[in-house]
Structures are given as C-alpha cells and as structure tokens.
Amino acid sequence: MRKTRTVHLVRPGDCNHYGSLFGGTAMAWMDEAAFVAATRHARAKVVTVHADALDFRHPVPQGAIVELVAWVREVGRSSMRLEVEMWVERVDSPERTLACRAGFVMVALGPDGRAIPVSAPVEGPDAEP
C-alpha cells in the first residue's frame, strides 16, 4: 500500500489559548493529506465527500512536530476511502504518539466535474514509492 506522509511544525497561530493545536487545523491538515494520497492514486481531480469522526486521543502541543500518514484503504467505482493518522513528536523526545485518526472519502472527477472510475489500490512490496 502506498502511503503519503506530510510534516508540519505546530506554530503559535495553529493553537488555541491552551497552547494545543486547534481541532479545525488538525482536520484541515488531515484532509489535505487524504487529498494528496487520493490524487496520487487516482491521478485525477478529487474532492472530499465525507469525513468520519476524528478521534482525538492526545492534545498536540505548540512546538511539536506532526507527521500525517494517509493511505487508500478501499476503492469503489469512483470513490476512495482513506485513513489518516496524526503522529506527534515533541522536539525534546524521540517518542511518537498517535494523537488523532480519521477516515475520509474522496471522489475522482473528470474535466466535466462528473465522477470517473478509479483503479483498485496496488498491494505488495512494490507499492511503496
């Protein structure tokens, strides 16, 4: 399975008054990672049509490094179900913590804005870029 990884530094403008990452910012970053993974799979314009519940397990502190890992889990005719995990590293520790997980559904669109078919995900050792 091909995974997409993106990295963000949690800056003061990304945080609430408690010094933790805004939930909406976390969701936007996760949606963006899902979008990149879906686009890489479909090689077409994709749009988000559904986001599952975001399960926030741990707060994400200001100054932390966030890695988002997204992958296509299932493919329908024109839709793709993706999983996204948000891993957090404090800069003073090598430990990584799963802070959030969510599922997204993306649909591939053709030039006319209508849904187009996508292929099934490639499995096996040769799937990683």
* Cross-strand partners of 20: 61
Rg of the chain on CA atoms, in Å: 16
- Mean of the per-residue pLDDT values of the chain: 93
Residue 123: which pLDDT band, with cuts at 50, 70 and 90? low
Q: What is 3-119's CATH topology?
A: Thiol Ester Dehydrase; Chain A (3.10.129)
**Which one is predicted more confidently, 123 or 89?**
89
Q: What is the pTM of this model?
A: 0.91
Tens of pLDDT, residue by residue over 36-88, are 999 999 999 999 999 999 989 999 999 999 999 999 999 999 999 999 999 99
User: What gap in Å lies between CA 32 and CA 34, rounded to an integer?
Assistant: 5
